[in-house]
Amino acid sequence: MTEILMPKATAVWLVDNTSLTFDQIADFCGLHPLEVKGIADGDVANGVRGADPISNGQLTREEIERAENNDSYRMTVVKPKYSDLHTPAKRRGPRYTPLSRRQNRPDAIAWLVRNHPELSDAQISKLVGTTKTTIQAVRDRTHWNAANIKPTDPVSLGLCTQVDLDEQVKKASDRRRKLEQENPELIQDTLKSAEELSQYEPEEPDTGEINLETLFGGSSEPKND
């Protein structure tokens, strides 16, 4: 039932001005029948001024009379005149990313593609506020700054929250699990993007040591004649 304004004050008015039963008043006001009985006895809502539900547009005189003539009848709140003209929910636009953080988007994309290949481009775009063109450029290493891209967790970069990331990963995992059950041969395809991003892994540093086996094409251990 639609909640009414000032239920106890309305119940006080109905008790004082109508012959409705306690159950009818309790049902309309969202109260317990014993609470309404307490109002009638003066034990509850003592000193509360009654609120006329007719004058404030929550009830009609005809509805009250109909209920007074039938103890089993339950009154309903008057439907507001403009209740159907609700304001539609504001559509959520693209995620806004501060200028100072936009340069970190490629790093975040590389991290997401490498660590969560199950995420779709649309999900990545939603998480870090980027475009599918940029995502594809990072995947293909055709991004203008590909040489300097370092996969970095988007949460640590402040591009999304951990809650948002976990939510998208869960959705993607559920979707991939369903696809794998229907098409087992697609398992490797879903991990392809992770292999492509492996080229972003830093190379092993050069320690200056010489591998004798590689240099001479054989074992570095001396041979006994």
By the 8 A CB rule, do 101 and 159 touch?
A: yes
Report the b/e string of 76-98 with b at 16+ CB within 10 A.
Answer: ebbeeeeeeeeeeeeeeeeeebe
Task: List the chain domain ranges.
Answer: 7-68, 99-200
DSSP assignments along the chain, one per residue: -PPPSSHHHHHHHHHHH----HHHHHHHHT--HHHHHHHHHTSSSTTPPP--TTTTTS--HHHHHHHHT-TT----PPPPTTTT-PPPPPPP-PPP--HHHHTTHHHHHHHHHHH-TTS-HHHHHHHHT--HHHHHHHHHT-STTGGG-----TTTTTSS-HHHHHHHHHHHHHHHHHHHHH-GGGHHHHTHHHHHGGGGSPPPP------HHHHHTS-SSPPP-
Tens digits of residue pLDDT in 41-59: 888 777 788 889 888 888 8
pLDDT tens string 125-182: 888 888 889 999 998 888 888 888 899 988 888 888 888 888 888 888 888 777 767 7
Entry pTM: 0.42
pLDDT digits (tens, 9 = 90+) for 75-104: 988 876 544 544 555 555 455 555 556 688
For residues 213 and 207, the answer to whether their CB atoms sit within 8 Å is no
Residue pair 188/117 in contact by the 8 Å Cβ criterion: no
Angstrom distance (rounded) from CA 193 to CA 141: 12
